[in-house]
Chain A
Protein backbone atom coordinates (compact mmCIF):
# COMPACT_ATOMS: atom_id res chain seq x y z
CA UNK A 1 0.00 0.00 0.00
CA UNK A 2 1.22 3.50 -0.78
CA UNK A 3 -0.20 6.35 1.26
CA UNK A 4 0.39 9.93 0.13
CA UNK A 5 0.73 12.53 2.83
CA UNK A 6 0.60 16.17 1.88
CA UNK A 7 2.17 19.10 3.65
CA UNK A 8 5.47 20.86 4.05
CA UNK A 9 5.29 23.05 0.93
CA UNK A 10 5.87 26.25 2.89
CA UNK A 11 8.66 24.64 4.92
CA UNK A 12 10.37 23.46 1.72
CA UNK A 13 10.11 26.86 0.03
CA UNK A 14 11.50 28.59 3.10
CA UNK A 15 14.29 26.05 3.44
CA UNK A 16 15.33 26.76 -0.16
CA UNK A 17 15.40 30.51 0.38
CA UNK A 18 17.42 29.92 3.55
CA UNK A 19 19.79 27.78 1.48
CA UNK A 20 20.17 30.64 -1.03
CA UNK A 21 20.96 33.02 1.82
CA UNK A 22 23.53 30.74 3.47
CA UNK A 23 25.07 30.00 0.09
CA UNK A 24 25.65 33.72 -0.45
CA UNK A 25 26.92 34.13 3.11
CA UNK A 26 28.04 37.47 4.53
CA UNK A 27 26.93 40.13 2.02
CA UNK A 28 29.88 42.35 2.90
CA UNK A 29 32.15 39.69 1.31
CA UNK A 30 32.25 40.00 -2.50
CA UNK A 31 30.32 37.29 -4.36
CA UNK A 32 32.43 34.72 -6.21
CA UNK A 33 32.57 35.07 -9.97
CA UNK A 34 32.64 31.96 -12.15
CA UNK A 35 35.90 33.01 -13.81
CA UNK A 36 37.54 33.18 -10.38
CA UNK A 37 36.54 29.59 -9.73
CA UNK A 38 37.60 28.44 -13.20
CA UNK A 39 41.01 30.10 -12.81
CA UNK A 40 41.78 29.61 -9.13
CA UNK A 41 39.98 26.40 -8.15
CA UNK A 42 40.84 24.74 -11.45
CA UNK A 43 41.42 21.24 -10.10
CA UNK A 44 38.08 21.26 -8.30
CA UNK A 45 36.48 22.29 -11.58
CA UNK A 46 38.33 19.44 -13.28
CA UNK A 47 37.02 16.94 -10.76
CA UNK A 48 33.44 18.07 -11.33
CA UNK A 49 33.95 17.81 -15.11
CA UNK A 50 35.47 14.35 -14.84
CA UNK A 51 32.91 12.81 -12.47
CA UNK A 52 30.03 14.88 -13.82
CA UNK A 53 31.16 13.44 -17.17
CA UNK A 54 30.78 16.79 -18.90
CA UNK A 55 33.64 18.88 -20.20
CA UNK A 56 32.51 22.47 -19.64
CA UNK A 57 34.51 24.60 -17.20
CA UNK A 58 31.94 27.33 -16.69
CA UNK A 59 29.11 24.91 -15.98
CA UNK A 60 31.30 23.01 -13.52
CA UNK A 61 32.19 26.31 -11.79
CA UNK A 62 28.53 27.25 -11.59
CA UNK A 63 27.74 23.84 -10.12
CA UNK A 64 30.45 24.29 -7.48
CA UNK A 65 29.03 27.64 -6.37
CA UNK A 66 25.47 26.42 -6.45
CA UNK A 67 26.46 23.39 -4.37
CA UNK A 68 28.33 25.60 -1.87
CA UNK A 69 31.51 23.66 -2.67
CA UNK A 70 29.94 20.23 -2.07
CA UNK A 71 31.64 18.33 -4.88
CA UNK A 72 29.25 15.40 -5.11
CA UNK A 73 26.27 17.77 -5.16
CA UNK A 74 28.02 19.76 -7.91
CA UNK A 75 28.65 16.57 -9.89
CA UNK A 76 24.96 15.67 -9.46
CA UNK A 77 23.94 19.10 -10.86
CA UNK A 78 26.16 18.65 -13.90
CA UNK A 79 24.86 15.14 -14.56
CA UNK A 80 21.29 16.43 -14.39
CA UNK A 81 22.08 19.27 -16.80
CA UNK A 82 23.57 16.85 -19.34
CA UNK A 83 20.26 15.09 -19.72
CA UNK A 84 18.64 18.29 -21.04
CA UNK A 85 20.86 18.51 -24.13
CA UNK A 86 20.49 16.81 -27.52
CA UNK A 87 23.32 14.57 -28.65
CA UNK A 88 25.38 15.44 -31.72
CA UNK A 89 27.47 12.28 -31.85
CA UNK A 90 30.73 10.61 -30.86
CA UNK A 91 34.08 12.31 -31.43
CA UNK A 92 36.91 10.66 -33.26
CA UNK A 93 39.21 9.02 -30.69
CA UNK A 94 41.65 11.57 -29.28
CA UNK A 95 45.36 11.08 -29.93
CA UNK A 96 47.20 11.45 -26.63
CA UNK A 97 50.48 10.93 -28.47
CA UNK A 98 49.93 14.30 -30.20
CA UNK A 99 49.13 16.08 -26.92
CA UNK A 100 50.42 19.57 -26.21
CA UNK A 101 52.09 18.29 -23.06
CA UNK A 102 52.00 20.37 -19.87
CA UNK A 103 53.32 17.63 -17.61
CA UNK A 104 54.86 14.28 -18.40
CA UNK A 105 56.69 11.99 -16.02
CA UNK A 106 57.77 8.39 -16.09
CA UNK A 107 58.82 6.31 -13.09
CA UNK A 108 60.25 3.59 -15.31
CA UNK A 109 62.66 5.45 -17.61
CA UNK A 110 64.90 8.30 -16.55
CA UNK A 111 65.97 9.32 -20.03
CA UNK A 112 63.17 9.12 -22.52
CA UNK A 113 62.51 11.04 -25.71
CA UNK A 114 60.99 14.39 -24.76
CA UNK A 115 62.25 14.09 -21.19
CA UNK A 116 60.61 14.38 -17.81
CA UNK A 117 58.52 17.53 -17.59
CA UNK A 118 57.28 18.27 -14.08
CA UNK A 119 54.77 20.95 -15.05
CA UNK A 120 52.54 22.58 -12.43
CA UNK A 121 52.78 19.82 -9.80
CA UNK A 122 52.29 19.57 -6.03
CA UNK A 123 55.04 16.91 -6.00
CA UNK A 124 58.17 17.98 -4.10
CA UNK A 125 56.33 20.82 -2.34
CA UNK A 126 56.70 20.72 1.44
CA UNK A 127 52.99 20.90 2.12
CA UNK A 128 53.43 23.90 4.38
CA UNK A 129 50.54 26.33 4.46
CA UNK A 130 51.54 29.58 2.81
CA UNK A 131 50.60 32.74 4.73
CA UNK A 132 51.62 34.89 1.75
CA UNK A 133 48.82 33.34 -0.28
CA UNK A 134 46.40 34.32 2.47
CA UNK A 135 47.70 37.87 2.27
CA UNK A 136 47.08 37.93 -1.48
CA UNK A 137 50.71 38.51 -2.47
CA UNK A 138 51.55 38.98 -6.16
CA UNK A 139 52.78 35.91 -8.00
CA UNK A 140 55.77 36.06 -10.33
CA UNK A 141 55.50 34.96 -13.97
CA UNK A 142 56.87 31.45 -14.49
CA UNK A 143 60.26 30.97 -16.11
CA UNK A 144 60.51 29.98 -19.74
CA UNK A 145 63.10 27.88 -21.49
CA UNK A 146 63.47 28.00 -25.23
CA UNK A 147 63.71 24.55 -26.73
CA UNK A 148 62.95 22.86 -29.97
CA UNK A 149 59.56 21.19 -29.95
CA UNK A 150 60.28 17.51 -29.37
CA UNK A 151 58.13 14.51 -30.12
CA UNK A 152 56.98 12.72 -26.98
CA UNK A 153 56.12 9.13 -27.82
CA UNK A 154 54.15 7.25 -25.19
CA UNK A 155 56.38 5.17 -22.92
CA UNK A 156 54.30 2.12 -23.75
CA UNK A 157 55.41 2.49 -27.36
CA UNK A 158 59.06 2.38 -26.25
CA UNK A 159 58.56 -0.88 -24.33
CA UNK A 160 56.48 -2.28 -27.16
CA UNK A 161 59.42 -2.00 -29.56
CA UNK A 162 61.17 -4.76 -27.64
CA UNK A 163 57.98 -6.79 -27.33
CA UNK A 164 58.29 -6.63 -23.54
CA UNK A 165 54.81 -5.27 -22.97
CA UNK A 166 51.37 -6.28 -24.12
CA UNK A 167 49.88 -4.12 -26.88
CA UNK A 168 47.32 -1.34 -26.34
CA UNK A 169 43.98 -2.97 -25.57
CA UNK A 170 42.30 -4.24 -28.72
CA UNK A 171 38.71 -5.30 -29.17
CA UNK A 172 37.27 -7.61 -31.83
CA UNK A 173 37.05 -5.95 -35.28
CA UNK A 174 33.26 -5.57 -35.28
CA UNK A 175 33.05 -4.35 -31.67
CA UNK A 176 31.08 -1.11 -31.25
CA UNK A 177 32.18 0.84 -28.15
CA UNK A 178 29.54 0.46 -25.44
CA UNK A 179 27.97 3.51 -23.84
CA UNK A 180 26.70 3.35 -20.26
CA UNK A 181 24.70 6.54 -20.82
CA UNK A 182 22.62 4.67 -23.42
CA UNK A 183 22.44 1.07 -22.20
CA UNK A 184 22.07 -0.35 -18.68
CA UNK A 185 25.09 -1.99 -17.05
CA UNK A 186 25.44 -5.69 -17.71
CA UNK A 187 27.97 -8.07 -16.21
CA UNK A 188 30.39 -9.34 -17.25
CA UNK A 189 31.23 -6.20 -19.24
CA UNK A 190 33.79 -5.46 -21.92
CA UNK A 191 36.87 -3.45 -20.97
CA UNK A 192 35.81 -0.39 -22.99
CA UNK A 193 32.57 -0.08 -21.01
CA UNK A 194 34.44 -0.60 -17.75
CA UNK A 195 36.82 2.22 -18.66
CA UNK A 196 33.91 4.57 -19.34
CA UNK A 197 32.45 3.79 -15.92
CA UNK A 198 35.85 4.20 -14.23
CA UNK A 199 36.55 7.51 -15.95
CA UNK A 200 33.43 9.06 -14.38
CA UNK A 201 33.78 7.04 -11.15
CA UNK A 202 34.27 8.58 -7.72
CA UNK A 203 37.89 9.56 -7.15
CA UNK A 204 37.82 8.59 -3.46
CA UNK A 205 36.31 5.16 -4.12
CA UNK A 206 38.75 4.34 -6.93
CA UNK A 207 41.66 5.71 -4.90
CA UNK A 208 40.80 3.43 -1.97
CA UNK A 209 40.47 0.40 -4.25
CA UNK A 210 43.71 1.23 -6.04
CA UNK A 211 45.39 1.57 -2.66
CA UNK A 212 44.01 -1.80 -1.59
CA UNK A 213 45.70 -3.46 -4.57
CA UNK A 214 49.02 -1.97 -3.49
CA UNK A 215 48.54 -3.25 0.05
CA UNK A 216 48.20 -6.80 -1.19
CA UNK A 217 44.55 -7.26 -2.13
CA UNK A 218 44.98 -8.21 -5.82
CA UNK A 219 48.62 -7.28 -5.82
CA UNK A 220 50.01 -6.67 -9.29
CA UNK A 221 53.24 -4.70 -8.81
CA UNK A 222 52.52 -1.46 -10.61
CA UNK A 223 54.95 1.10 -12.00
CA UNK A 224 53.87 4.39 -13.47
CA UNK A 225 55.06 3.91 -17.02
CA UNK A 226 53.89 7.40 -17.77
CA UNK A 227 51.57 10.18 -16.71
CA UNK A 228 50.89 12.93 -19.20
CA UNK A 229 48.65 15.95 -18.88
CA UNK A 230 47.83 18.38 -21.64
CA UNK A 231 45.47 19.44 -24.36
CA UNK A 232 44.40 17.30 -27.28
CA UNK A 233 42.50 18.25 -30.39
CA UNK A 234 38.92 17.02 -30.57
CA UNK A 235 37.34 16.22 -33.94
CA UNK A 236 33.86 15.16 -34.98
CA UNK A 237 32.70 13.52 -38.21
CA UNK A 238 29.54 15.21 -39.48
CA UNK A 239 27.53 14.39 -42.60
CA UNK A 240 27.50 17.96 -43.92
CA UNK A 241 31.28 18.26 -44.26
CA UNK A 242 33.78 16.13 -46.16
CA UNK A 243 36.34 16.29 -43.31
CA UNK A 244 36.28 15.86 -39.52
CA UNK A 245 35.34 19.17 -37.88
CA UNK A 246 37.86 20.46 -35.32
CA UNK A 247 35.88 21.33 -32.19
CA UNK A 248 38.68 22.79 -30.10
CA UNK A 249 41.03 21.39 -27.47
CA UNK A 250 40.29 19.53 -24.26
CA UNK A 251 42.71 18.94 -21.39
CA UNK A 252 43.03 15.33 -20.26
CA UNK A 253 45.24 13.29 -17.95
CA UNK A 254 46.49 9.90 -19.09
CA UNK A 255 48.16 7.25 -16.94
CA UNK A 256 49.91 4.19 -18.30
CA UNK A 257 50.44 1.74 -15.47
CA UNK A 258 52.92 -1.06 -16.14
CA UNK A 259 52.34 -4.24 -14.17
CA UNK A 260 53.93 -7.58 -13.63
CA UNK A 261 54.20 -10.31 -16.11
CA UNK A 262 51.92 -12.57 -17.89
CA UNK A 263 53.04 -15.28 -20.22
CA UNK A 264 51.79 -18.59 -21.46
CA UNK A 265 53.09 -21.75 -23.07
CA UNK A 266 52.90 -19.93 -26.41
CA UNK A 267 53.72 -16.32 -25.50
CA UNK A 268 56.86 -15.34 -23.58
CA UNK A 269 56.39 -13.36 -20.35
CA UNK A 270 55.65 -9.67 -20.82
CA UNK A 271 54.47 -6.71 -18.79
CA UNK A 272 50.73 -6.18 -18.52
CA UNK A 273 49.03 -2.81 -18.34
CA UNK A 274 46.33 -0.74 -16.72
CA UNK A 275 45.04 2.42 -18.35
CA UNK A 276 43.60 5.65 -17.01
CA UNK A 277 42.19 8.59 -18.97
CA UNK A 278 40.18 11.40 -17.37
CA UNK A 279 39.06 14.94 -18.13
CA UNK A 280 41.19 17.79 -16.81
CA UNK A 281 44.28 17.70 -14.65
CA UNK A 282 43.45 14.81 -12.35
CA UNK A 283 46.45 12.55 -12.01
CA UNK A 284 45.44 10.90 -8.73
CA UNK A 285 42.21 9.85 -10.40
CA UNK A 286 43.95 8.69 -13.59
CA UNK A 287 46.37 6.58 -11.52
CA UNK A 288 43.58 5.08 -9.41
CA UNK A 289 41.65 4.32 -12.59
CA UNK A 290 44.65 2.57 -14.12
CA UNK A 291 45.17 0.45 -10.98
CA UNK A 292 41.50 -0.54 -10.98
CA UNK A 293 41.49 -1.24 -14.73
CA UNK A 294 44.40 -3.64 -14.26
CA UNK A 295 42.87 -5.32 -11.21
CA UNK A 296 39.58 -5.78 -13.07
CA UNK A 297 41.38 -7.63 -15.86
CA UNK A 298 42.02 -10.53 -13.46
CA UNK A 299 39.77 -13.03 -15.24
CA UNK A 300 41.04 -12.03 -18.67
CA UNK A 301 44.63 -12.61 -17.49
CA UNK A 302 43.84 -15.87 -15.72
CA UNK A 303 44.34 -14.54 -12.18
CA UNK A 304 42.30 -15.71 -9.17
CA UNK A 305 39.59 -13.23 -8.25
CA UNK A 306 40.16 -12.90 -4.52
CA UNK A 307 39.85 -9.19 -3.72
CA UNK A 308 37.24 -6.46 -3.93
CA UNK A 309 39.19 -4.47 -6.53
CA UNK A 310 39.03 -7.46 -8.93
CA UNK A 311 35.27 -7.90 -8.57
CA UNK A 312 33.83 -6.15 -11.62
CA UNK A 313 30.25 -6.09 -10.41
CA UNK A 314 31.27 -4.77 -7.01
CA UNK A 315 33.58 -2.06 -8.36
CA UNK A 316 31.51 -0.79 -11.27
CA UNK A 317 28.16 -0.97 -9.46
CA UNK A 318 29.51 1.20 -6.65
CA UNK A 319 31.88 3.59 -8.43
CA UNK A 320 29.27 6.15 -9.43
CA UNK A 321 28.94 8.71 -6.65
CA UNK A 322 25.70 10.18 -7.99
CA UNK A 323 24.00 6.78 -7.78
CA UNK A 324 25.63 6.10 -4.43
CA UNK A 325 24.63 9.39 -2.88
CA UNK A 326 21.10 9.07 -4.27
CA UNK A 327 20.54 5.74 -2.59
CA UNK A 328 22.27 6.57 0.67
CA UNK A 329 20.68 10.01 0.98
CA UNK A 330 17.18 8.83 0.14
CA UNK A 331 17.17 7.21 3.59
CA UNK A 332 16.58 10.63 5.16
CA UNK A 333 13.39 11.26 3.19
CA UNK A 334 10.08 10.47 4.92
CA UNK A 335 9.60 6.73 5.45
CA UNK A 336 6.75 7.26 7.92
CA UNK A 337 4.47 4.57 6.55
CA UNK A 338 7.24 2.00 6.09
CA UNK A 339 8.38 2.68 9.61
CA UNK A 340 4.84 2.50 10.98
CA UNK A 341 4.52 -0.96 9.47
CA UNK A 342 7.80 -2.01 11.09
CA UNK A 343 6.65 -0.57 14.43
CA UNK A 344 3.47 -2.64 14.23
CA UNK A 345 5.50 -5.70 13.38
CA UNK A 346 7.96 -5.31 16.23
CA UNK A 347 5.08 -4.68 18.69
CA UNK A 348 3.34 -7.85 17.50
CA UNK A 349 6.56 -9.85 17.79
CA UNK A 350 7.09 -8.56 21.30
CA UNK A 351 3.52 -9.42 22.28
CA UNK A 352 4.03 -12.94 20.96
CA UNK A 353 7.36 -13.18 22.72
CA UNK A 354 5.81 -12.03 26.01
CA UNK A 355 2.91 -14.45 25.60
CA UNK A 356 5.36 -17.33 25.02
CA UNK A 357 7.38 -16.34 28.10
CA UNK A 358 4.29 -16.17 30.28
CA UNK A 359 3.13 -19.55 29.03
CA UNK A 360 6.58 -21.04 29.72
CA UNK A 361 6.57 -19.55 33.22
CA UNK A 362 3.16 -21.03 33.99
CA UNK A 363 4.37 -24.37 32.69
CA UNK A 364 7.47 -24.19 34.91
CA UNK A 365 5.35 -23.32 37.97
CA UNK A 366 3.01 -26.18 37.24
CA UNK A 367 5.91 -28.59 36.90
CA UNK A 368 7.45 -27.31 40.14
CA UNK A 369 4.12 -27.73 41.96
CA UNK A 370 3.70 -31.33 40.80
Chain B
Protein backbone atom coordinates (compact mmCIF):
# COMPACT_ATOMS: atom_id res chain seq x y z
CA UNK B 1 0.00 0.00 0.00
CA UNK B 2 2.85 2.36 0.90
CA UNK B 3 4.40 1.61 -2.45
CA UNK B 4 1.18 2.33 -4.31
CA UNK B 5 0.76 5.62 -2.45
CA UNK B 6 4.29 6.71 -3.31
CA UNK B 7 3.74 5.78 -6.96
CA UNK B 8 0.49 7.76 -7.01
CA UNK B 9 2.24 10.79 -5.55
CA UNK B 10 5.03 10.54 -8.09
CA UNK B 11 2.49 10.27 -10.93
CA UNK B 12 0.49 13.22 -9.63
CA UNK B 13 3.65 15.28 -9.34
CA UNK B 14 4.66 14.34 -12.88
CA UNK B 15 1.28 15.53 -14.18
CA UNK B 16 1.75 18.82 -12.35
CA UNK B 17 5.25 19.21 -13.82
CA UNK B 18 3.95 18.63 -17.35
CA UNK B 19 1.10 21.11 -16.94
CA UNK B 20 3.39 23.72 -15.36
CA UNK B 21 5.69 23.58 -18.37
CA UNK B 22 2.93 23.61 -20.98
CA UNK B 23 1.55 26.77 -22.53
CA UNK B 24 -1.92 27.91 -21.52
CA UNK B 25 -3.04 27.76 -25.17
CA UNK B 26 -1.96 24.12 -25.58
CA UNK B 27 -3.74 23.11 -22.38
CA UNK B 28 -6.94 24.91 -23.42
CA UNK B 29 -6.88 23.33 -26.91
CA UNK B 30 -6.41 19.77 -25.62
CA UNK B 31 -8.97 20.42 -22.90
CA UNK B 32 -11.62 21.29 -25.47
CA UNK B 33 -10.67 18.40 -27.76
CA UNK B 34 -10.95 15.95 -24.87
CA UNK B 35 -14.28 17.45 -23.78
CA UNK B 36 -13.08 17.72 -20.18
CA UNK B 37 -15.32 19.56 -17.76
CA UNK B 38 -14.22 22.91 -16.40
CA UNK B 39 -17.04 22.98 -13.90
CA UNK B 40 -15.44 23.52 -10.52
CA UNK B 41 -15.71 25.73 -7.49
CA UNK B 42 -12.74 28.06 -6.97
CA UNK B 43 -11.54 27.76 -3.39
CA UNK B 44 -8.50 29.99 -3.86
CA UNK B 45 -7.22 32.19 -6.63
CA UNK B 46 -6.22 32.04 -9.31
CA UNK B 47 -3.73 34.47 -7.83
CA UNK B 48 -0.22 35.59 -8.74
CA UNK B 49 2.58 36.00 -6.23
CA UNK B 50 6.31 35.61 -5.77
CA UNK B 51 8.48 32.64 -5.00
CA UNK B 52 12.09 33.33 -4.08
CA UNK B 53 14.44 31.06 -6.04
CA UNK B 54 17.18 29.48 -3.98
CA UNK B 55 20.53 28.26 -5.20
CA UNK B 56 23.42 26.67 -3.35
CA UNK B 57 26.82 28.23 -2.71
CA UNK B 58 29.33 26.55 -5.01
CA UNK B 59 26.49 24.51 -6.57
CA UNK B 60 26.07 22.09 -3.68
CA UNK B 61 26.69 24.09 -0.48
CA UNK B 62 24.48 26.15 1.79
CA UNK B 63 21.34 27.67 0.24
CA UNK B 64 21.13 31.34 -0.70
CA UNK B 65 18.43 33.49 -2.33
CA UNK B 66 19.03 34.25 -5.99
CA UNK B 67 15.95 36.29 -6.87
CA UNK B 68 12.21 36.02 -7.25
CA UNK B 69 9.93 34.60 -9.88
CA UNK B 70 6.24 35.12 -10.59
CA UNK B 71 4.08 32.12 -9.69
CA UNK B 72 0.34 31.70 -10.14
CA UNK B 73 -1.69 29.28 -8.07
CA UNK B 74 -5.26 28.04 -7.83
CA UNK B 75 -7.28 25.60 -5.74
CA UNK B 76 -10.59 24.16 -6.92
CA UNK B 77 -13.22 21.66 -5.78
CA UNK B 78 -15.14 19.49 -8.23
CA UNK B 79 -18.86 18.81 -7.82
CA UNK B 80 -17.75 15.23 -7.02
CA UNK B 81 -15.69 16.52 -4.08
CA UNK B 82 -12.07 16.22 -5.24
CA UNK B 83 -9.85 19.20 -4.40
CA UNK B 84 -7.15 20.09 -6.90
CA UNK B 85 -4.17 22.45 -6.65
CA UNK B 86 -1.88 24.12 -9.10
CA UNK B 87 1.27 26.21 -8.76
CA UNK B 88 3.18 27.33 -11.82
CA UNK B 89 5.68 29.89 -13.09
CA UNK B 90 4.22 32.95 -14.76
CA UNK B 91 1.00 34.92 -14.54
CA UNK B 92 -1.44 32.87 -16.64
CA UNK B 93 -4.52 32.63 -14.41
CA UNK B 94 -6.62 30.71 -16.89
CA UNK B 95 -3.92 28.09 -17.18
CA UNK B 96 -3.56 27.86 -13.39
CA UNK B 97 -7.29 27.28 -13.02
CA UNK B 98 -7.39 24.56 -15.69
CA UNK B 99 -4.33 22.89 -14.15
CA UNK B 100 -5.99 22.85 -10.72
CA UNK B 101 -9.12 21.27 -12.25
CA UNK B 102 -6.90 18.75 -14.03
CA UNK B 103 -5.28 17.87 -10.70
CA UNK B 104 -8.71 17.35 -9.14
CA UNK B 105 -9.97 15.29 -12.10
CA UNK B 106 -6.82 13.17 -11.97
CA UNK B 107 -7.69 12.20 -8.38
CA UNK B 108 -11.05 10.87 -9.53
CA UNK B 109 -10.47 7.24 -10.56
CA UNK B 110 -13.19 7.59 -13.22
CA UNK B 111 -11.40 10.53 -14.88
CA UNK B 112 -7.71 9.79 -14.33
CA UNK B 113 -7.25 7.85 -17.55
CA UNK B 114 -8.82 10.59 -19.66
CA UNK B 115 -6.63 13.24 -18.07
CA UNK B 116 -3.52 11.13 -18.61
CA UNK B 117 -4.18 10.14 -22.23
CA UNK B 118 -6.04 13.13 -23.67
CA UNK B 119 -4.28 15.96 -21.87
CA UNK B 120 -1.00 14.98 -20.25
CA UNK B 121 0.34 12.44 -22.74
CA UNK B 122 0.35 14.77 -25.79
CA UNK B 123 1.89 17.60 -23.75
CA UNK B 124 4.52 15.27 -22.34
CA UNK B 125 5.37 13.96 -25.80
CA UNK B 126 5.74 17.48 -27.21
CA UNK B 127 7.90 18.55 -24.27
CA UNK B 128 10.08 15.48 -24.68
CA UNK B 129 10.57 16.26 -28.37
CA UNK B 130 11.51 19.86 -27.65
CA UNK B 131 13.96 18.73 -25.00
CA UNK B 132 15.56 16.15 -27.30
CA UNK B 133 15.82 18.66 -30.13
CA UNK B 134 17.53 21.13 -27.86
CA UNK B 135 19.87 18.49 -26.55
CA UNK B 136 20.78 17.46 -30.10
CA UNK B 137 21.34 21.09 -31.15
CA UNK B 138 23.61 21.62 -28.17
CA UNK B 139 25.42 18.34 -28.88
CA UNK B 140 26.26 19.63 -32.38
CA UNK B 141 28.34 22.36 -30.69
CA UNK B 142 30.43 19.86 -28.73
CA UNK B 143 34.15 20.30 -29.24
CA UNK B 144 35.97 17.27 -30.63
CA UNK B 145 39.60 17.82 -29.77
CA UNK B 146 42.34 16.32 -31.87
CA UNK B 147 46.06 16.52 -31.38
CA UNK B 148 48.42 17.47 -34.17
CA UNK B 149 51.75 15.71 -34.12
CA UNK B 150 54.56 17.67 -35.69
CA UNK B 151 57.90 16.26 -36.84
CA UNK B 152 59.12 12.67 -36.95
CA UNK B 153 60.22 12.14 -33.35
Contact = CB atoms under 8 A, between A and B. Distances in A.
B90 A177 contact: no
B68 A53 contact: yes
B142 A192 contact: no
Given A85-B50, A146-B136, A246-B17, A169 B57 contact: yes
Interface residues of A, number: 84
Interface stretch (B24-32, B33-41, B69-77, B114-122): B69-77
A177 B64 contact: yes
B73 to A, nearest CB: 7
Interface string A213-249: 0000000000000000000011010101111111111
A89 B52 contact: yes
A54 B70 contact: yes
A118 B61 contact: no
A241 B87 CA distance: 11
A47 interface: no
A76 interface: no
A291 to B, nearest CB: 15
Contacts of B64: 177, 191-193, 195-196
Interface in B83-122: 85, 87-91
A85 B54 contact: no
Contacts of A212: none
B59 interface: yes
Contact of B70 (A56, A178, A236): A56
B62 interface: yes
A99 B67 CA distance: 18
Q: Count chain A CB atoms within 10 A of each CB in B16, B57, B69, B90 and give the residue with the most.
A: B57
A315 B143 CA distance: 37
Contacts of A88: 49-51, 71, 73, 87
A71 interface: no
Interface residues of B, number: 54
B89 A247 contact: yes
Contacts of A193: 64
A236 B67 contact: no
A89 B9 CA distance: 22
A168 B56 contact: yes
Contacts of A145: 136, 139-140, 142
Contacts of B136: 144-147
A49 B131 CA distance: 23
A156 B136 CA distance: 25
B48 interface: yes
B81 interface: no
Contact of B133 (A101, A144, A240): A144
B49 A87 contact: yes
A178 B52 CA distance: 12
A252 B67 CA distance: 11
Given A86-B47, A117-B141, A200-B67, A247 B20 contact: yes
14 contacts: A54-B50, A55-B89, A59-B91, A86-B50, A117-B143, A144-B133, A168-B56, A169-B62, A177-B54, A236-B71, A238-B85, A249-B21, A250-B89, A275-B57
Given A56-B91, A179-B65, 4 more contacts: A54-B67, A88-B49, A144-B140, A247-B87
Interface of B: 9-10, 12-13, 16-17, 20-21, 47-71, 73, 75, 85, 87-91, 131, 133-143, 145
Interface of A: 49-50, 53-56, 58-59, 82, 85-94, 96-97, 100-103, 110-111, 115-120, 142-147, 149, 154, 156-157, 167-171, 175, 177-181, 191-193, 195-196, 199-200, 233-234, 236, 238, 240-250, 252, 254, 256, 273, 275, 277-279
